[in-house]
Amino acid sequence: MGASAIHSAEDARRLARRRLPWMVFDYIDGAAGAEMGAGRNRSALDAMTLRPRILRDVSERSLASSLFDRPAERPFGIAPMGMCNLSAPGADLMLARIAARHEVPLGVSTVASTAMEDLIVEAEGHAWFQLYFSGDGSGTFKLVDRAKAAGYETLVLTVDVPEVGRRPRELRHGFKMPFKMGPKQVMDFALHPRWSLPVLLKGKPEMANFLMDGYDFDRTESRAKATWETLARLRDQWAGNLVVKGVLDADDAQRLKSAGVDAIQVSSHGARQLESAPAPITVLPEIRKAVGPDFPLFYDSGLRSGEDVLKALANGADFAFFGRILQFAIAAEGEAGLEQLWSVLSEEMSIAMAQLGVTSLDEVRRNACYR
């Protein structure tokens, strides 16, 4: 099947499920616990409706947005995702190229499978470095210095992983990072040759930011020592834009604003950490009220379509980020699949704007959504 088989995010997921080893698919697709949180995210988005308006001239519509005074062709970017090259060799670079073409941010994960230096070059500067605080923080602040030296202007501190969430689908497959092979994994890969053969030729994906001396990382190491003092130290060290990702509480949001962060990202980490967390879309309006109308507020978790992005914008977000569905598109049909899904998301959004009777994102934010 060609990329033309992808007409929705669900098409990309279905095709990826056929092609990927079970272990890899479940790592990308899985969520915490019994995955009720992931279901809650989708149910909350599905329950929200957009109000159509008629007989308005919507022949010229714009998806243009801006972030930190820089133009963006879309109001959505690419969330930081670890080990993207598991979906296909070179996936990180594919994501970087589409970020460059559309002038949107590529979230570069601490545990990316391509080095941060290479990704910001491929993204032509449209890259943000996502940071986990880990252990005693010594390695964390080395990464901050390295991001600064590489030319990153925006740092995204992810704060919703004091301990790595339990994701049973990963545990059943024995998924590990760094990537390890055993009899079970060998059998899984042998049954999925369309994925396995290219990966064998390119070499197994690794956490590329830790291949240099002095940059050790243990995915299971506790991140529970991060405090408000840690944030203050980071704010002092980082002169660029500082985004805090993983916020679901209005009081926390207010305190972050007072602490001098430049933006907040409302997120449940795709429901991969706390199964009982609220659906982020339901707390977004409350957090918007807490931080005021002009403070930059971003959103991710559960997004599957252009209409979902409109719902996020209408409920208070300035910008949104897609995650795993982009990996599914790459797994399904490589870079052509990614381009196809990106076009689908853009077209879904533009057509929905026409149905709503709006021509700009500012109009969407003013009151296009009701529940």
258-285 pLDDT per residue, tens = 999 999 999 999 999 999 999 999 999 9
Query: Token pair of 208, please?
Result: 């590329």
User: For the segment 149-180, what is each residue's pLDDT rounded down to a tens digit?
Assistant: 999 999 999 999 988 889 999 889 888 766 67
CA atoms of 29 and 124, how far apart (whole Å)? 29
User: For the segment 3-23, what is each residue's pLDDT rounded down to a tens digit?
Assistant: 479 999 999 999 999 999 999
Which of 1-5, 28-32, 78-82, 89-93 is least confident?
A: 1-5
Neighbours of 185 (CB within 10 A): 19
Q: Which residues are catalytic?
A: 269
Cα 250 to its chain centre, rounded Å, is 21
Q: What is the pTM of this model?
A: 0.95
E strands present in the chain = 49-50, 65-67, 70-72, 76-78, 106-108, 127-132, 154-158, 241-247, 263-266, 297-299, 319-322, 369-370
Please choose, from the candidates 233, 227, 232, 57, the residue with its C-alpha nearest in 3D space to the C-alpha of residue 141.
Answer: 233
Say how many CA atoms lie within 13 Å of 316 toward its Cβ: 20
Query: Token pair of 275, please?
Result: 């199964």
